[in-house]
Structure 1
Amino acid sequence: MSNQSFAARTYRDDAVVLRTHKLGEADRIITLLTHHHGQLRAVARGVRRTSSKFGARLEPFMVADLQLVRGRTLDIVTQAVAKGSYGDAIAANYDRYVVAAAMTETAERLTDVDGETSTAHYLLLVGALASLSRGAHSTELILDSYLLRAVSIAGWAPSFGDCARCGDPGPHGAFNAALGGAVCHDCRPPGSPAPAPQTMFLLACLLSGDWAGADASENIHRREAAGLVAGYVQWHLERTVRSLKLVERA
């Protein structure tokens, strides 16, 4: 009977490690974003011992195939098979590390209560971490593209062409986070930023995945875009993404 009970409580899923913290002398609590079960917190027993067979597979930014057992308060990780060893390449480079930290912090906050979009968030985050570990594009561009897509999945897709308030066809010369992006002259609230046209084009490229256009952008427009992205994300999250403060911009 106990074996049947154990089997009924056991399940497998792919997951990316968002965060870890110590528990007792040898254990860790792992915050995971899974492919099919949303965000969850699980205990990894003995993972801090040097003899642990899967400790390295449960570090931040790693992607693994996990076997878990449902517990009374926290699930328990009983097996971990590495699927994406992005953590080593990211941890070896400070710029990549802080960008990955900002992405996983954002993912954690966007999925802590919303389970309906967790699969899309999982796929987006894994893709962004893979791109970051390979150095496929500039770290800041990968971050800003991830942030724009993540808030879009959460239901706050920005507009960088038509007016976000009245729908008047763009391009427009102002941006307002509270209204949802680009705004026309008539809808523009006082004090709204007026980004350069090249910055708005870059933002549209980052949202749509036009990497040729994004990679060709100049640093001055990347910096302006980064400020708008950070403001937009934190407005809709209604809280600060602390890791963004550590990201160094060119």
Structure 2
Amino acid sequence: MPLYRDDAIVLRTHKLGEADRIITLLTKRHGKVRAVAKGVRRTSSRLGSRVEPFMLVDVQLYEGRNLDIVSQVETKEPYARRIAEDYAMYTAATAMVETADKLVDHEKEPAWDQYRLLHGALGSLSRREHEPGMVLDSFLLRSLALAGYEPSFDLCASCGRQGPHRAFVVAGGGAVCEACRPPGAAAPAPETFSLLEALLSGDWASADASDDRPRRDAAGLIAAYTQFHLERKVRSLTHVDRTDARQS
């Protein structure tokens, strides 16, 4: 069986038999990989804590017929330990890895950009650089953009007319002008559009200075946009703690 090694982020795990787990990894060079980690549920296992969701690891695997086999794991960044200390961070990270798992649909296909984005987002969360909900929202917008679903917040998504515009259509790709606006379209405030643009571009000075109302409105639009274009529900989004740390 060919042996290979890669950096990887643990996306999820589930039990296999009495002592094993199936680990889903997003790797730097090999895309998404599903592998068996044997014996990790035993108390004597030294690998168990290293293959928890959110961990950044250096992993060695053997190629298998259906599933690869984990042979060695070394911790590179213990994101899981830091993130698990805070409920808002934990729920945001859970939604991130679920989204990454759904966006990278096929195994063993290159997904370097998605890996790099998730790595950066989990690192930002673990260092408490920004409010967790906004880190999540920025990750969702940018990961969708990488996958070919970048929303428009300035130009009309239908006719290309220069904005600013006052309507947003989830199914239509973002902002739309009055001429293209369908009945029932959302009408976000200008401050919400500004925040959406900042989150997509990574303008954290503007995003961090935003108020609570635009943050709530932007989060709702981003969640709807994400699930529409993924064509499936991201279950973790319903559990995300949106409590602003500034209020605590």
1:144-184 deviations in Å (ceiling 9; x for gaps): 00000010010000111111111101110000111111100
Q: Which of 207-216 and 175-184 deviates more?
A: 175-184
Q: 2:37 is matched by which residue type in structure 1?
A: A
- The 8 Å contact of residues 117 and 154 in structure 1, kept in 2 or not, is answered as no
Query: Normalising by structure 1, what TM-score?
Result: 0.95
Q: 1:176 is matched by which residue type in structure 2?
A: V
Q: Does 1:146 align with 2:139?
A: yes
Q: 1:91 is matched by which residue type in structure 2?
A: A
Q: 1:246 aligns with which of 236, 239, 245?
A: 239
- The 8 Å contact of residues 33 and 108 in structure 2, kept in 1 or not, is answered as no
Q: 1:103 aligns with which of 88, 92, 96?
A: 96
Equivalent position of 2:171 in the other structure: 178
Q: 1:68 aligns with which of 58, 61, 67?
A: 61
Q: What stretches of structure 1 move > 6 A for 4+ residues in a row?
A: none
Q: 1:89 is matched by which residue type in structure 2?
A: R
- Work out the CA distance in 2 between the residues paired with 1:50 and 1:239: 37
What RMSD in Å do the two structures reach over aligned CA positions? 1.1
Q: Structure 1 residues 117, 201: closer, same or farther in 2, change over 3 A? A: farther
Cα deviation, residue 199, structure 1: 0.2
Q: Which runs of 5+ in 2 are unaligned?
A: 244-248
- Work out the CA distance in 2 between the residues paired with 1:49 and 1:233: 38
Equivalent position of 1:235 in the other structure: 228
Equivalent position of 1:3 in the other structure: none
- Work out the CA distance in 2 between the residues paired with 1:127 and 1:153: 14
- Work out the CA distance in 2 between the residues paired with 1:27 and 1:114: 21
Q: Does 1:47 align with 2:40?
A: yes
Cα deviation, residue 249, structure 1: 2.1
Query: Normalising by structure 2, what TM-score?
Result: 0.95
Q: Structure 1 residues 114, 220: closer, same or farther in 2, change over 3 A? A: farther
Q: 2:178 is matched by which residue type in structure 1?
A: H
Equivalent position of 2:213 in the other structure: 220
Say how many residue pairs are matched: 243
Q: Which runs of 5+ in 1 are unaligned?
A: 1-5
Q: Does 1:81 align with 2:88?
A: no
Indicate the percent of aligned positions where both proteins have the same amino acid.
60
Q: Structure 1 residues 247, 117: closer, same or farther in 2, change over 3 A? A: same
Q: 1:143 is matched by which residue type in structure 2?
A: L
Equivalent position of 1:190 in the other structure: 183
- The 8 Å contact of residues 100 and 118 in structure 2, kept in 1 or not, is answered as yes
Q: 1:129 aligns with which of 103, 122, 129?
A: 122
Q: 2:151 is matched by which residue type in structure 1?
A: P
Equivalent position of 2:154 in the other structure: 161
Q: Structure 1 residues 222, 117: closer, same or farther in 2, change over 3 A? A: farther
Cα deviation, residue 185, structure 1: 0.4
Q: Structure 1 residues 232, 58: closer, same or farther in 2, change over 3 A? A: same
1:93-145 deviations in Å (ceiling 9; x for gaps): 11111111100000000002386561110100011000011110001100000
- The 8 Å contact of residues 117 and 153 in structure 1, kept in 2 or not, is answered as no
Cα deviation, residue 216, structure 1: 0.3
